[in-house]
Amino acid sequence: MMPTTPVVETDDRQLVQTIREGDADAFETLVRRKTTKVYALCYRIIGNAEDAKDISQLVFLKLWENLEKYDPAYAFDTWLYRMVTNVAIDFMRNKQSRDNAVNSTLRLVKTEADAEQGVVVQRKEVENVFNDVSSVLSPKQKTIFIMNQMEDLPSAEIAKILGCRESTVRNHLFNARKAMQAQLQKRYPEYAQLWRSR
């Protein structure tokens, strides 16, 4: 989860100011501080460790080149997250056009014993299921769903990050949930009963 506490924000702003004054070491500090957060979001959106690493590096290079454009009136993390989502969504769009069948071969193997025991959700299995059913979402829908469900960001914050209205975010969330439900019903009926229509 991307922290948005005032103390951290103040530190980030000071750090950015130091970088703008020509201190390259301060940029290294900023990269070190934000790496795990940026990489986590990239990984959840892209679903592949190596691609997520490359995209995260690209994000930091863009950050370096565009730091002058940052307006300290806004939270630094919001600005950073906007950069991450823009780069990741672009990557996903290109990837979708290159390979529409991404993730389509993933299948969850469940034994009868598992079924008898009830649905005991294993983390890796959930990850596989998510990668599979989320492949039908648009890059933007997937990004919004991940930010809301996995990064615990409220709709208002997501709207700020993406530069859209909160109602748009809620629409995307609703549509994403519907689309994933349909996929879950089709591919993983044992999970679909859990994820009832709300």
Partner 1 sequence: MMTCEIFRSTFHADTENAALLGHLRTCDRCLDFAANVDPDVMFRALGGEDLVPPGGVELFVDDVMRQVRVRGAEKVATIQRPVSWMRRLAIAATLATAVTSGSLVYRHNSAIPSSMMTSIKRAPIAAHQIALVTKPIVETYESQSATIMEVPNEPNDDVKIVMIFDENLPADL
Residues that bind partner 1 (CB under 8 A): 1, 24, 27-28, 31-32, 35-37, 39-40, 43-44, 49-50, 52-53, 56-57, 60-61, 64-65, 118-123, 126-127, 130, 145-146, 149-152, 154, 177, 191, 194-196, 198
* Tokens coding 18: 């130091």
Minimum CB separation of residue 90 from partner 1 in Å reads: 19
> Around 29, how many Cα atoms within 13 Å sit in the side-chain half-sphere?
13
- By CB neighbour count within 10 A (0-12 exposed, 13-18 middle, 19+ buried), where does 187 fall? middle
Minimum CB separation of residue 73 from partner 1 in Å reads: 26
**Strand (E) positions, 8-55?**
none
Minimum CB separation of residue 27 from partner 1 in Å reads: 7
Q: Please name the amino acid found at residue 129.
A: V
Measured from the CB atom, the residue of 108 and 150 that comes closer to partner 1 is 150
Measured from the CB atom, the residue of 73 and 112 that comes closer to partner 1 is 112
Measured from the CB atom, the residue of 48 and 86 that comes closer to partner 1 is 48
Q: Please name the amino acid found at residue 139.
A: P
Minimum CB separation of residue 41 from partner 1 in Å reads: 9
Q: Which of 3, 158, 137 minimizes the C-alpha distance to 82?
A: 158
Q: Report d(CA 76, CA 105) in Å as an integer.
A: 39
